[in-house]
Every structure is written in structure tokens, then in C-alpha cells.
Amino acid sequence: MLKFTSKLILSVIISLLAYSGVYAQSWNIETTGTSSFLYSVDFADAQTGWAAGENGVIIKSTDG
């Protein structure tokens, strides 16, 4: 039973790492034009999104 449990746990970990790697590749670092820390990002669709941060900063992206 221990061998099966170990293999199952290892399989789950590998799957999660592979899954997270797919989405991590889709993000790019961009210049925001603000020095405020940004804490939240939300996209309405594939192109339009907003980020909000400290001191009431809200920025918008229209190019994904």
C-alpha cells in the first residue's frame, strides 16, 4: 500500500507542476507606468483587463 500511495502522490505532484508550467508561460512582464505595487488583476475577456494596487491605483490593458 505504501508503494501505491507514494506513486500516487508523486504522480499528483508531477501533474500539478506540469499544469502550472503551461499557464506560467503565458505571462509577460510589462512596464506599467506606475511605481505603486499592484495587488489584483482581473480580465473581462482575452484582451481587456484591469489591475489595482496601493494608493488607489487602477490601470487598464486593452491588448491582453
Q: In which band, very low, low, confident or very high, does the pLDDT at 25 lie, cut at 50, 70 and 90?
A: low
Q: Would you say the pTM of this structure is higher than 0.75?
A: no
| Mean pLDDT (the chain, rounded) | 77
Higher pLDDT, 1 or 31: 31
Cell of 16: 500539478
Q: What is the pLDDT of residues 48-60, one digit of tens each?
A: 888 898 899 899 9
- 7 has a pLDDT exceeding 60: yes
Q: In which band, very low, low, confident or very high, does the pLDDT at 16 lie, cut at 50, 70 and 90?
A: low
| Residues 6 or more apart whose Cβ sits within 8 Å of residue 42 | 49, 50, 51
